[in-house]
Amino acid sequence: MKWNKFLTVVSACALSVSLIAGCGNGGSSGASGANEGGKDAAGSGGDGSKQVANGELNVAVFQGGYGREYWDQVIEAFMKDHPGTKINLTASPKIAELVRPKIVAGNPPDLLYIAGGDNIPLLDGLIKDKALLDLMDIFNENDGSGPLKDKILPGVLESRAMSPYGDGKIYLAPFNFGVLGLWYNKTLFDEKGFQPPKTWDELFAMNAAAKENGRALFTYQGIYPGYLEEVIVPAIYDLGGQKALDQFFNYDPEFWKSDVFKQVWGNILKFANEDNGLMKGTVALNHTQAQTAFMQGKAMFIPNGTWFEDEMKDAPRESGFQFGFLGIPSFSGGSVKAQSNIEQIVIPAKAKNPELASEFLKYIYSDESIKLNAEKSKAVMAVKDAADLAKPYISESTYNVYKAVDNGMELVNGTFQTVAKGSKYNPKDDVYKAISSLVNKQMTLEEYGQKMYDMYTEVSKELKQAQ
């Protein structure tokens, strides 16, 4: 893959843990545990497996589109390989609600995998409170084949998403890696001879073809407008490069007076304003409703990520439907771009067993775990060669999305700078949720831009005062 390009973009402003990543599919909480004997013995077991002292661990994970089967099985494998350990697992789509009281009480889980839009504020709070364990020793440790950090995709550990304080230290560990952009029905395009659009002009020109084939041009997960990030972030980079992305993510109010803002958000409005541009009722739909409508042939394009196919494997669809990935077109005819996101795993600073949590985190990066994750979750981890390790377990179309980067697709991402402690603002929510008012014509583009300008001004002022 073209990781050199990934490095130049991501190392400066890395990976948004999207509210889209692994949408909730219902869930439960439960516990896995066994082999309680021998907790106080450290060293090697008779079979050569490693024992860990004080071996009880509490793990809490987001259960979304990727499910929980991977976690159940990797925990079972770890306990088998580490006799004398016991891991208790809590898994839920609303994991933040379950663990927040424990964190407030000073009794957090030992290891957390946090994703899903409703849960991310909890992770943001842990970052703001500097309540995460420094993971540098884990990634610097050499297991004989080199330090773990050399196994991670280039630029990821140096990014703000993993090193949020700019001090060169790693506090968040990368997990599943997604590629996000626009999707279409490949069967329809192949049968009709349509070419996936490479520019925005070409995309909007397909409105006539969409209408002829009984569908709107575009839909999105209406009550979760954060999905539009997948369109917006690559488009910002396409027009304004790293400078514009830095303005956007670092709260430069002048971004909201720029031509980049006007053109990028202007495209979103164009979908809403053009006849047949936006599927009727879009704004009132949740993610599964909008995605099902798209698969049933009611819209030509929808934003989503590489978990899309597996998440919707049981959803109804039009005859012959095949997932096709477009990425995000260019304004000027340059390379097609796509957003990437990497989910994160953390060890709270107040974890009761950070040593065992560290051992388990390292285990997650083993080739066996990477393959197991692909088999059970259909996910690809943010490590070198993970797509090829996952190939036997993921669909051809999903594999091809990851490999599309080899053919010139650029990966782009960024994440908002952490706001000052005690701030009333949540910029990610403030920026994207207000888009619904634009689409519903309750706010003009100028009014939206001024609202964001004022918010950025206040956030920037708070950050300066906190220094």
99 has pLDDT over 90: yes
pTM (two decimals)? 0.74
Q: For 230-261, write each residue's pLDDT tens digit.
A: 999 999 999 999 899 999 999 999 999 999 99
Residue 15 banded pLDDT, cuts 50, 70, 90: very low
Q: Alpha-carbon distance 369 to 256, whole Å?
A: 44
14 has pLDDT over 80: no
Q: Alpha-carbon distance 110 to 178, whole Å?
A: 25
Poorest-confidence range of 55-59, 119-123, 212-216?
119-123
Partners of residue 181 on adjacent β-strands:
304
Q: Which residues contact 279 (CB under 8 A, 6 or more apart)?
A: 215, 216, 218, 219, 290, 293, 298, 299
- Residue 12: the pLDDT is 35
Of 132, 122, 58, 115, which is closest to residue 90 (Cα–Cα)?
58
- Residue 421: the pLDDT is 85
Q: Alpha-carbon distance 285 to 461, whole Å?
A: 36
Q: Confirm if 316 and 296 have CB atoms less than 8 A apart.
A: yes
Q: Confirm if 132 and 172 have CB atoms less than 8 A apart.
A: yes
Domains located in the chain, CATH noted: 15-178+342-394 (3.40.190.10), 179-339+417-466 (3.40.190.10)
Q: Alpha-carbon distance 467 to 464, whole Å?
A: 5
**Residue of higher predicted confidence among 413 and 48:** 413
Q: Alpha-carbon distance 381 to 24, whole Å?
A: 19
62 has pLDDT over 90: yes
Mean of pLDDT over the chain: 87
Looking up tokens 């968040």 gives: 172
One-letter-per-residue 3-state SS of the chain: CCHHHHHHHHHHHCCCCCCCCCCCCCCCCCCCCCCCCCCCCCEECCCCCEECCCCEEEEEEECCCCCCHHHHHHHHHHHHHCCCCEEEEEEECCHHHHHHHHHHCCCCCCEEEECCCCCHHHHHHHHHCCCECCCHHHHHCECCCCEHHHHECCCCCCCCCCCCCCCCCCCCEEEEEEEEEEEEEHHHHHHHCCCCCCEHHHHHHCHHHHHHCCCEEECCCCCCHHHHHHHHHHHHHHHHHHHHHHHHHCCCHHHHHCHHHHHHHHHHHHHHHCCCCECCCHHHCCHHHHHHHHHCCCEEEEEEECCHHHHCCCCCCCCCCCEEEEEECECCCCCCEEEEEEEEEECECCCCCHHHHHHHHHHHCCHHHHHHHHHHHCCCECECCHHHHHCCCCCHHHHHHHHHHHHCCEEECCCCCCCCCCCCCCHHHHHHHCHHHHHCCCCCHHHHHHHHHHHHHHHHHHHHHHC
Q: Confirm if 324 and 295 have CB atoms less than 8 A apart.
A: no
Buried b / exposed e over 298-320, threshold 16 CB at 10 Å, is: bbbbbbbbbbbbbbbeeeebeee
Mean predicted confidence (pLDDT) in 50-55:
60
Residue 307 banded pLDDT, cuts 50, 70, 90: confident
Residue 51 banded pLDDT, cuts 50, 70, 90: low
